[in-house]
Each structure stands twice: as structure tokens, then as C-alpha cells.
Structure 1
Amino acid sequence: MARAEGILRLLIVDDSLTETDAVINILRSAGHAVRAGREDDFEALEQCLSKQSWDLIICRDHLPSLAPIEIVNLIKRLGKDLPCIVITEDKTAEKDLFRSGVQDVILKGDIERLQFVTERELDNLFMRRLARRNERALRESEKRSRALLESSRDAVAYMHEGMHIYVNRAYLNLFGYQEQEDIDGLPILDLIDPDDHAKFKMVFRQFTEQADAKPATVSTQCLKNGGYAFDADIEFSHAQVEGEDCTQVVVRDLNGAIVEDSEQLKRLRDFDLLTGLYNRTRFVDELQQAVNQAAENQSDSALLYIVLDDFQQIKEQVGLTTSDMVIKSVADLLLQTAQEGEKIGRYGDQIFTIVIPSDNESLVNERANAFLKTVDEFVSHANGKIIDLHCSIGIARISESVASAQTALENADKACTQAQHAGGNQTARFQEKMVQSDGDDLSSWQSVLQNALKNDLFSIHFQPIVGLHGPQQELYDILIRLQDSDKTLRAEEFIHYAVKLQMMTEVDKWVLRTSLKKLSEHRKTHPKTRFFIKLSEQTLREKDYVDWLSATLSAHNLTGQALIFEISETAALDNLEDTKNTIAKLKSIGCEFGLEHFGSGIDFSQSLNVLDVDYLKINGNFVENMAHDTENQAAIKAIVEMAKQAEKRTIAEFVSDAVSMALLWRLGVDYAQGFYIHKPSDKPDYNFEEEDL
């Protein structure tokens, strides 16, 4: 760390040796031991940042090929935690320079400010590095604690409100489960013989009601996965996991023999039984090592997150046994394609993860394309059917700014989702949000959006919303797309430009006209179908919108009952009076209303108190990672309970896996939507009659 070593590793971007020496002398006179480098070429700067570790970058704003905004974006792309300071001779340029994302702007000749800002940024950098080091130390401590639990012969679990949040390998083995995710969110009562439920509940309730209670034990019959019963003693004690109160459970099989540790058990702990690849736990350990190396400035690397496209449909076509054979074949092909030093794991059912030990982005892209090609060329014949596989690959750089293995996985997962949304069978790289120059960008986007409105280059997609506990309905969420040259853009890639250009009312009206035309045709064969339509803040403030809507509905022989409008919770509260007025007008013509991203606000009970809405779409951030995050589960539970009391229906978006789906059902959520259920389609073709959820 810079402050501990006493050396300031300074990189200066300037084409003048004289000015460079002046900056170095100013900082040395302030007591810094400066070790400096200078660059004035973009490619050389990129190499310099990739290969060496720096504490501070100081640049001038007059180099046309190295504008500050380009330097900031390069730092972000490479994942470097590196403060950037700009020296300028033009005071009027300060505002634009700050917008570029630099840490500070200093007028040339202001020696005291340069010294002060340097000291401040180095102190901040030191604290960030210290925080990351402490986080790594904490994770290592937690890892050692878990290792002790994993090596324990006792079957140990941690529960929150009667549901499993962590179990060790002995616990899995005792109850006949293979992986942690098989039991995540499962109530412990599911593992107890029904005849002993009353006895178990009584002891457990008495124990949990006393915060300072001593450990308690109950003797019951437990059930293995598959139904086999065995006698056991279950001991409860109070504990904490990641600062949250929970219950530690130790289960002792009264009839079972202690199994000695062996190489076979060790292999079971580290490797996936089907593929022989690293299992999820072991791979995360290997990934964390790569993260630690990058944090200590030893070397950057990359993570590939590989998801087999449309594998759920393949599994339904060929059956579980054959789909397992396909997974095994893919794993073998990945191993054959892998090069020395690359580490491969099976992270999920159809998800593979690979660490590439290289900071060369071109090389990493080549390796990703090699794995993509390997899967793309896979063809298998099973049960008389041809299985033609494809995959999507997300790429994430592992650099010093990546705090943990989980962060790297989330980044790679986001990139993989981007590749899937773009059609699959391709790679995508995770990029931090780059700073953009608004002027030229807005001008070009205005032309693109105006052209799209004029020539119908927008399109709508349909994603079904299916029932869990709510009344059976045929609901679709309407999503907008934009055809730009040879690629299709999702809303998040262009909507913010429409907002800045004050074009959202026009876009909203295009979406509604197109949706009503499609709905009018579709309801001839599916008369119960209803659409969820997003409403922007600009349209919310449009006084005549509902009158225009009424006329448009009549023109398509539809009534307001066919539509449910939705707006984000934060936008609704920011425009409270307009929202109230619009909701009242929409309800007067038969429409219903929902809040999107519900739970984003600090106090989401406020939304229910002041807004007369019918549906609450739970913030997707709670749902995406809920299978592995008990805090998200608790948040969803609180929202569901609050919604039931207020007689509102809940919808969970971004449902991506079976575990999350099961948890949502247990928590009482009314409806769900997401890629696990059905991807957005250009046709409303979901068969609601065959729901089996």
C-alpha cells in the first residue's frame, strides 16, 4: 500500500518533459518519495497501466489523443483503483473536466492545491486498499471457520426462521443431498417425520423465544432425501452468521456409524460427481485466490461464465438421464479445450466457470471464443433426437477493483445475460459504466430515436407473468426494443437518452398503439389476455394522456380492463401528486396500476399508504440472488406480508432458477416472471393452460 511503503508511484500523462519534471519536483518538495513514469500515447498508456501498479495519475487536458475522459474510461475498463487528477490552464473548462469523472481539476501553477489534492487522494486510496485487505482477511477467517465445519464429523446447519441458510458436508451426507443449493431455503420440518412435528415445534419454539436460552435437545425421527427414516438427537443453540442472529443445529444419527475421512470423501468435497470438474465451493475458493492475487498487484486474470442456451427445453425433450450425459460430454470437451493454468468448475446445472490466468484482453477473448466454438460444434443424437448445443459466455476481468469472488461472478453473470439477450451463442464482456460526452451523444441519439418513431424501428416483446398463489390470469409484460443497424437494443441501452431528450411521451404512445393493435388481434382467440404497460415520468405529467388513451382504446374495441400500467416506485414518489391524479384517471376508465421495482425506497410502507395501487413488482435485485442471500429473502417476506395486509398482489421479476422459484412460492408471492419461466418473445405465445409451477 502506498502510504505504508512511503513511495508514490506516479504516472504522468503529458507530452512535455519540462512540465513533467515540474510536477515531480512539486510533490517531492511536499515530502513524497516519487517514482514516476510518463506517457503521451494511448496504446503505451494502456500497456503501462496493465503491466505496472500505480498510486496516482496526473494528466494534462491539451492532448487530443488522450483526453481526460478517455483516460478515465481506460482506468475503468482495466478495473484499476487509480485516482486521476487533471491540470489545466483554462478555468472555464473545469466544469466539463469534472463531468469526465476525474477526482479533481487543478489550475496550472496552483502548487499548494496540487500538494493538498495529492495528499488527500493518497489517503483515500490507502483507506480503500486497507478496507479491501481487511475484507480479504475477514473472508479468509470465515473460510477457515467453514473449513472447520466442513471437516467436522457432526452434521451442522444454520437456520433462520426455521429455514436452512448453511449446512456442512456431513449434514448433506446424513440427509442424502448432493449440494448446498439442494437444501437452501428448505424448512427443517421437511426433514422431520410428520408424527414428530408437534414435539419438534414445541421444543424449537421454547428455545427461540428466549434469546439467552441454553442449548436445547429434542429426539425425533428424521427423514433422508428419499423418505428413509432414522432416529436422531437434534441440538439447538443460538449463533450469528455474517452479523445476523440465527440458530445452529447439530443432528446426531443415533444408529449411524462414524465414517472416517478418506481421499474419496475429500474428492466428494472438492469435485462435481457427474463431471469431475471442481464443484461450486472449490471453484469459488480457486477464484478467490485469483482475486487475492489481483488485489496484491501480482497479476490480473479473467473469469468466463458459460451458460448452455435453452438447456431447460433440451432437458424436457430428452429427459434427465440423457441431459446429464450431455452435461458430462460438454465438461469433457471443455477440459480438452482448456490450456495449462486454466481452472474449470461446474457452478450450476448448466453453468460452467473458467479462470483464465491472463490480463491480455485479446488473449482472453480468443480463449472465450475457443470454448464457444467447442460447444457450438457439439452435436449429439439421443432418443432419436438431434441435440444441437450453443452457449453464451460472459467475460469479467479480475482486477484490484474486484472486491471478492462473488463480485467477479456477478460481473461475469451480467455479461452472460447480455450475451443471452443479444440472441445467445456469443460472448460479451462486462464493462463498468463509461463516462460519455453528452453533447455529441445526445445529438446522434436524437436522430436515431426520431428515425425509429418515424419508420417503426421500435418493436415490442412479450414476457409472461405466471401465477403462483394469485388468481389465474393471462398476463404479459410489454418490453420495448430498438433495431439499430444490425443489432437489436434492449430498453436499458437507449431509454435514458429518450428521457434526456424529453421524448418519452412519444415513445410511450408508440408502445401503447402497437400493444393495443397486437392485443386486439390476440384477444380474438385469448379473450382473457391483459398487458402490463410501463409509464414514464414524462407521460405521468402529460395532462391529456388518459383522454388520448380512452380514444385509442375505443378505436381498437378494447376497454381499460385490458391494461395494467406500471411505474417505478421512486418515480411515483418523486411525482406524488401527478401519480395520484393519473392513477385516479386510469382507474376511472377501468385500468389497474402497479409499482415497479417495489422496495427500492427507504421506507416502502410509505408507498402503500399514499398510493392506490393494485400490484407490487418486487425489486428484481432482491429476487436475482435470493437463493444465496437470506437478507433478500427476508426483504421479500416483509414485502409479501405488507402487501397481503394491504390487499395488494405481488409479482417477482428476474426469476432465474428453480431454487428462487420454490422460495418465492413458499414466501407466498402471487405472480412471477423471468428467464427461468420464459424469455421475452416477439409473440405472445406462452401456454398458460399448461402451467405447472
Structure 2
Amino acid sequence: MPERKKSRVYLLPFMLFLLLSLLFVAAGFYLINDERQSRISKATSLASQLKNSLELFSAERRQAMISLMQTWPAFSPNEIDWFNVQAVSLMNIQHGYTSLSVTDRSGKIRWMTIPEGQGAEATGFAKPERKESPLRLPSLHLSDDFQSMLVRSQTSGHYFLVYARAISTQEPELGYLVATFDVSEILDAMVGELVGPQFNFMIRDIDAHLLEAGDFADDGSIVETGNIAFLGRNWSLQIQSRPARFDAGWLLGAAGVLMSLLVSWIFHKQLKGAVRLSVSQKRYQIASEAGLDALMIYQPASGGFVLLEANTVSYELFPSLKNRQLPHTLHYLMAFLGHPELTTAAKEVSDSGVPYETYVKVDTDATAAGWLKIQMVKAGETLALTMRDVSERFRAQIDLKKSEERYRRLLDNMQRHFVYTRTPDHRFVFVSAGLSVITGLSADEFCEQSASLTYRVPDNIHAVTDAIAKGVKPEPYLVHYQGKDGEIFVIEFTDTPVCDDNGKLIAVEGIARDVTKEQALQEEVVFQASHDQLTGLVNRYAFDNELHVLLESVKRGEQTGVMCFIDMDRFKLVNDSCGHPAGDRLLKEVAGIFARHLTENELLARIGGDEFCIIFSNQTLKAVTAKLDEIIRAVSEYRFIYEDRLFYVGASIGVISIDQNSGSAAELIQAADNACYQAKYQGRNRYVVHQPDGCGSGLNKESSVLHALQRAIQHGLFELHSQSIVPMHKAEQALEHYEILLRLPDGNGGLISPALFIPLAERHGLMNQVDGWVVDRTLSVLEAHPAHLERLGKVAINLSGLTLGDPSRLAGIVDRVMRSTVPAHKICFEITETAAVTNINAARHFIETLRSKGCLFALDDFGAGMSSFTYLKNLEVDFVKIDGSFVKNMARDSIDHETVKAISAIAQSMGKKTIAEFVTDQATCDALRELNVDYGQGFALGKPLPLMNRLHTRDNVNLLRA
């Protein structure tokens, strides 16, 4: 049964059951609600009557007592007798009194009147010994208002209401009129007249239950009436009409649900039978209409067969069947198809009952079918004829044959591709001709020798074969083969498992392609992506990956390591003076020096412009530092020659151990970088091992140094020091020469080395601001000490290359010099060789402008690049400062001695005086005198000291004694 009809068989009866049940339940709830409203209405009406009765009873007794007090005789000789007569008369007229009494203010009963037939004990008070004996009542207040009290009898348990008031407030001696009422009897009498046994009720006075009957049902039908005024008391009434024993609403609802269930079940049975009958009738019709075959039922008639029924496919296959004017006989149809002989076959089927089947070709245009499959069977007294259009299959067979021929030609002409077939144990049994083009091997040779020709298989080959064994198509994979001449070919296979109906693997087929060129290109791309194009070393990206891998291994305790951060010394000089081609060649040659001292297991990488990193895996710090000593020695001995210029370079190295306590890769590199800065601070061309306990000033880190530098520029926190420049041949006792040195406080009482903050200031473009502060501060200090100014020969102030190219800074310095009281000829500005060479035109303009005002100039670090001789004659400088790298070893190194000699001779021939830096001992002093160098500067001649110390003391030490 179709799911839609099946769901209808169950859904409709269920919906009918719900509808009828809801109807009966709604009717039941209506009856229940109506009955409750009726009970509420009855209880409300009765409560109103009872309230009115009680309030009327109370009002009448109150008014009677007031009338009695208003008619009280003022001058009666025996007012007790009068009261007794009036009280008896009143109690005869109005029922309900238990007693009427007259008391004094203290509560003593002067006289009590009791209705006939009622003893004194019924009043709730003890019987007096004689008529005049007072009975005690609670104390009463003198007031025009009645006082009401509720008292419960200890003997009968009845509640008594005491109602009293002063007879006259003007004559308190008359006493009080007191009436008592038996509340229980009054309520029994009054409620009994109005309330029947079909009601539950309760009358309360505050917390006292005066009268109650029945148990209340909490169904929302309780009626409550409050504020019933009864003789000065405030009573409340709750009343409820008792529900019937059997609720008609619930009975109706329950009976209705049962009836709905019965009706729905009967309806379900009838609907189910009807659906089954309908499905059975339509099943065959649907099957015939949904089939792919044309189905026609013929009935024997007059020796032939006449069409009785036909499905939709029949009318689509033969549109002429819709034409009722044509004869719809089997003979006509077969003649129409061009095969009248099939009529005879139909008669044989009808007579023998043996089915008949055949394929016929149709040449008529009356049907779109080119080929038909015809089946005839006997169906009772009729003949069932089915026809199927098999034109596509016959055309497919023809196309398949053509396709096979075309496929063969295609396979044979494929370039860099071939088709293959392998057995379940992965032996090649067929390869197309494209293989021969790729490898030069014939198909048979490859099939026979494929195993021996295999050079390398993928790492996941077992996963590939397992997937194929399960009938799952694996991802493409690469296999390397070796050809006849030893050449390696890379073939990409795309396997498709072929399985039988039981899922068993019977073959593996697929298409393979030659990806040898692509693999070579990909390897080249991968190499370029992970290596520096200039030096061929690992680049920053690949180095970071290797460092991360090493860190993970170290964290697992599998290995240890040491990392080195290398920054080239004096590389900028080469790059700026000779251009980037020279810098590139220098980097390649230095990389070669590093590589010659490393093994294949040690990773060397270029991570920046002139920055390198080395990772030593599983080596001790002692072994690594021994190799670094060799590397530094090799770099120190190396001389870079470009064209006619000679340069000395060095390598400052920061070293850090990698262990399980090491931080991230970025933290390691930063720590090694800081150690590298320490190496530069200590004199360059050396290594410093990072101390994990944080030894050394935190300001040595670049970020901290930069922060301190910016703070000093903003607040003028620099300190000025000075170092003497001493004549080498005669002492000028009256004049002092010194160079201004800049120092940066670290905020903790120490100083940051200029080797750290000067390069940082140049890198961040702050050096022109620093130069401006130094010039202004130096002149201001000298102006404040005129006595020192008189014995000053010259003061040397360094200027950076950034200042040389800044026209506004030049104008500021000129203005400051012109406003100063310091003579211009005592001011000597020092510019470095690198700064001058980098921007020769700006340097020449700067020098000419200040020389015209009388200032002197010195060319600092002269000879470091051996390029200065070309520019020296074009720069109007007064002094040439020979680079200290030649001076410090000249007494022991003949090459350095000859270099200093050449520089001194050339400078003197141009009329310029020479100053030698880094004079560290007496031997150097003697050598400089022999070469006629004019001035010397270094620790042997005077150590740096604060400028203020120099201003307050005079250096009389004769440092030139032979």
C-alpha cells in the first residue's frame, strides 16, 4: 500500500476521533461550568439573605435598647421594678435575648431579667444568691457608643455576645444597660430557617468559628461575604452549595470519548477496506503506465485480433492509435510496421499459449522507433502484446564499435599519458603506446620489468594498496622509474579498482601521466621559496619552521641545541660607499666563510640584510663556542676588495642555548639578538652568550634602548663627556683640545653604550635631533664658563650623515653658531667618512656653509674603506682622523703601520692635519711621532670624562714625556 494512502487510512480516523472527543469534552466542560455557576448563584443569593437577616436582627435589638435607655425614668421611686417591667415586655416582643441587666460602672449587676423558662446559668453568668446581688461583668467605659464583647461559656461551649452602653452619659450613676445573646442559638435558629443541608457554610468572628457545617470543596464555588455588622461585631460568612454526587459533565465527556473511539475504529476499518480495494485495482494500471514498454491487449474476433486496451506508452510510440477512424487490429499494426508475418505468430501464441519474442527493424516514419523488441503472451482469453523501443541499444552497439576504434587511435596517440591495466596483485598486463614515448620502453618490456625499473614508491603505498583492495579509489600518487639510459621518470598514477558483483577486486585500471618536468619545477619552486636567492642559504621562513621543529623536539626531551644570531660589522659602509652589488658580493663571500666551518647537520640561514642565524643540533655550548672562535678568526682575517677599495669586516654574534625551559621561537631570536647587541657593545667581531637569568641591563634590548633614547630627546636627558685630543710633538699648555662624546643614562644610575643607541638613532631617523641637542648644549655650557673658553683650543662635535642632508638643521646650526659667544674657529665639526661619501654634494655644501662662518671640519674614520683619497681633495676639511682599526695595532702590524703612514703623508701633502684614534699604549705614541702624525686620541693620552669635570679642573698632566 502506498505510504500516502496508508497514512490516510490512519490519519483520517484519528482526526475524526480527536474532533468527536473534543466536541464531547467541550460539552462536558460546559455542563460542569454551568452547574458550578448555578451553585455559585444559589450560594450568593442565600448569603445575601442571611446577611440581611442578621443585620436586621441586630438593628432591631440595638434600636430597642436605645429606646429603653431613652425612656429611662429620671425620678422613679423604684427604677428596678420599672426596668424589670420594661425588660420583660421587650423580651416578649423581641426574641433572642439571653438576659437584660443593669450594672454599675464596675460591672456589678444590680438587676438581671431572664426570659421565662430560662435559668440564670443559660446567661453565661453565675446565678446570684438573691435578686439584688450584683454579678460581675467586665469594666465598662462611659460612652455614647455600645460596647460589644464575645464570651464563650465554659459549661455549654456556646458563644455569648455581651452588648452594653451607659444609660446616660450625663447621669453615670444610673449605670449601664447590658444585654446578652446566645450567638449559637441565634445562628442555629436563623441559619436553620434559610440554609438547608445542601449547603456548606461557616460564620466567623475574627478567629472564632461561631457556626459551621459541611466540608468545603475547593472548586471555585465558595462565596464569601464579609463585614456583616451584628451588634457591634464584624462577622464574615463563607457558603458553598454542595455539588451533586454524580457530575453530568464528566459522565458526558467520558461517554463521548468512548463513543468517539468506537466510531473512529469502525470508520478506520471501512476506510482501510476501501483503500485496499482501490490499491488493488490501480496496481496493475500503474504498473502498466509506469513501464517502459508499450502494452496492448487484443481480443480475438472474426479470425483476427482487435485492440481492447493500451497504455500511455503505446499511444506515444504509435500516435495513430488515437485516430479512431483507422482500424485497430493486430494485422493492421503489423502491416503498418512492415512485418505482417507477425500476425501468424500471434495466432500460434493464442492457440498454443507459448510466448513469442523477436526484434524487428522499423522503416516507417509513423513511429520514432528504429528497432523494436516485441513480446506476445496469452493472457486468459486475450493476447498481451508488449513492444519496447530498443533503437538506442542498437545504435549504442554501432557507436561502441566505432568508439572502440576511435579509443584505440586515441590511446596510441596520447602524449605524456598512457592507459594501463593491472592485476589484483598489481602486475601490469596492459599499457598503451604512450608509455614508449615517455620511457623508450616497449609495452611488453615495461609489463615484464616494471618491478625492477621501479626507483622509488610513495611513502603511503601500503595505504594505496589497502584502499584498492577494499574497492576504494585512492588519491593520485607518484612512482619514480628508471629508464634504459638511467634517466629518472616520475609517473603519476590514477587508479580505479574494478570489482565484480560480489565486490571482489578483479583488476585495476587507470590513466598515468608523465610529471617529471612538473616535479622538477615544483622542487625548484619549493627550493626558491625556502632559500635565499642571493646566498643560496635557508631563508627566514624556512629557518623559523626548522626552529619550531627543533623547539618541539627539545620540549619532548629528544634533543638539545644552540642558536647563534650573527650581525655583520661595517657592512653598511661597504653597501653605502660601493653600492648594493658590492654588498651582495660581500654577503655571498661571508656566507661561504660561514659554510666552510659548518657541517651538513648544522643549519645556516640568512634571515635579513646582513643578519645570519645558525642552529647547532645536539651540540654542547662549549663545542659551539669553539667553532665560533674559528668563524670569528676567519672573518677577521678576511679582506673584502672591491675594485680598488679594501674593507675590513667583522661578525658580532649572539649565542643562546635551547633547552626545555626555552620560550617561543620569536623569544629565542630576540634573546640572541640582544646578545648580539652586547657583542657590538663590547667591541664587535666577537660572540656573547645569552644569560637566561637576565644578566645585563634591560635597556640593551632594542625596544628598551629606543624608549630611553626617545625619552632623552624629549626631556634633554643626555650627558656630555669629553676626551682629550693631544698634540704628538709639542705640548700646548695654554690650550685644550677635546672631542665631545655623548652618553645616554639608563635611568638606573648607569649609561647605555653609544655603540647601542647611536646606530638605533640612525636607523629610526632621530640622529639629526640628537646632533642639534649636542651642538646647542655644548655651546651653552662653554658660554657659561668664559674662563675655560679662554684656554680652549678647539672642541670637536660629531655630526651624522642625516644631519648633513638636512637643510633646516644646517640653518639651525648656523644660527646657533652665529649667536654664540664661543669663537667659530674653536668649533670643529667631525663628519664620518661614510656620511661624506654617501652624499658628497650635501657634505660639500654643509662644510662650505659653516667654514664660511669660521668653523673647522674633521673627516672622521678616514681610511676605513680606502675610498676617501678620491674625495679628500674635494672636501674642504681641516683635520683627517685616521680610523682606529689601523692605529691600535700599528706598532705590531706592518700593514697597519704602512696604512697609517700613507694616510698621514697624503693628508699632509694636502695641507691637512692628522689625528690618530685608539692610541692605547706608549709604543703606538712613539710610532705616531715617527710618522709625523699631528694629534693623538685614546686611553693612553686621556680617558673620557664628564664635560663638567673638565670645565672645573685643568689637566696639567704631561702625557708626551719621552
- TM-score, length-scaled by structure 2: 0.30
Higher-Rg structure is: 2
Comparing both chains, which one has the higher relative contact order based on Cα–Cα distances under 8 Å and sequence gaps of 6 or more? 1
- TM-score norm. by structure 1 comes to 0.41
